[in-house]
């Protein structure tokens, strides 16, 4: 559970520890401002869930693109092999005919 920063208590504690009142007040104010700034930078669980869902969607898109590229590569390799086999067959026929 979050607790609020008590700048008055902090100032009194600093004075009790021997700090002069203006110094104690200044330190307490700075710490309080820092705490407020830090809380403003925090995000909620709902925000994180939404961001995670967005990232998961992007990952799914990348996986789909990878699968598509893989299929294209396989088709290209098979096509190249068919052309190579046909060319070798043609060369063999020519060698038999003129050989």
Give the mean pLDDT of 78-83: 96
C-alpha to C-alpha distance for 96 and 99, rounded to whole angstroms: 5
Contact (CB, 8 A) for 11 and 32: no
The answer to whether the pTM exceeds 0.75 is: no
* Tens of pLDDT, residues 2-18: 567 788 898 999 999 99
Which of the 8 DSSP states describes residue 44?
Answer: -
Domain count, the chain: 2
Both tokens of residue 54?
């967005």
pLDDT digits (tens, 9 = 90+) for 48-80: 999 999 999 999 999 999 999 999 999 999 999
Which tens digits make up the pLDDT trace of 19-40?
999 999 999 998 888 876 666 6
Helix (H) / strand (E) containing 4: none
Q: Range of 56's domain?
A: 43-99
Residue 56 sits in the same domain as residue 86:
yes
Statement to judge: residues 35 and 8 lie in one domain: yes
90 and 57 in a single domain? The answer is yes
- 78 and 48 together in one domain: yes
From 11, 17, 14, select the one nearest 32 (Cα to Cα): 11
């Amino acid at each position: 559970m979050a607790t609020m920063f008590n700048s008055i208590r902090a100032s009194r504690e600093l004075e009790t520890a021997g700090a002069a009142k203006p110094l104690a007040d200044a330190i307490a104010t700075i710490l309080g401002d820092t705490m407020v700034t830090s809380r403003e930078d925090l995000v909620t669980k709902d925000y994180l869930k939404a961001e995670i869902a967005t990232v998961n969607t992007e990952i799914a898109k990348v996986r789909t693109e990878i699968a598509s590229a893989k299929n294209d590569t396989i088709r290209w390799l098979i096509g190249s092999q068919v052309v190579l086999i046909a060319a070798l067959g043609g060369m063999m026929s020519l060698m038999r005919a003129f050989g």
